[in-house]
Amino acid sequence: MVREEARETSEHRLPEEWEQEKLNEKLKLISEAILEGNHPTLSITYFVPDTKKTGGEYVTVTEKIKKIDIVNRKIILMKSRNVGRNNPEIDIDEVTDIYGDLVNHFDNIPD
């Protein structure tokens, strides 16, 4: 019990409006690349809620993107070999940043 109380979590932070707009532009560009038959490798930082207490942690993964599911608001990653039957998914609403060659130019545009 003491170990659980000592484990620190981060507070979930909602993106500012300009950050959300930038993320939306990045998601649009990724979707267009996928429609053209490309599956870009990108790094995605997102919030993972803690199952036992308030808060959670921010995680960054670098993977190929299989699909952007706008209806269910998920980013579907390419399945790594020998890792279950389902492709890993990230909830779009938990994403705080996306970076990689395809989308980095958005970070150089003045706000």
Q: What is the three-state SS of 30-85? A: HHHHHHCCCCCEEEEEEEEECCCCCCEEEEEEEEEEEEEECCCCEEEECCCCCCCC
- Alpha-carbon distance 4 to 28, whole Å? 40
How many CB atoms neighbour CB 108 within 10 A? 6
Compute and round to an integer the Cα radius of gyration of the chain. Answer: 16
Inform me whether the pLDDT recorded for 110 exceeds 60: no
Higher pLDDT, 87 or 70: 70
The distance from CA 87 to its chain's CA centroid, rounded to whole angstroms, is 14
Higher pLDDT, 81 or 88: 88
What is the pLDDT, as a whole number, of residue 9? 74
What is the pLDDT, as a whole number, of residue 55? 87
Mean of the per-residue pLDDT values of the chain:
86
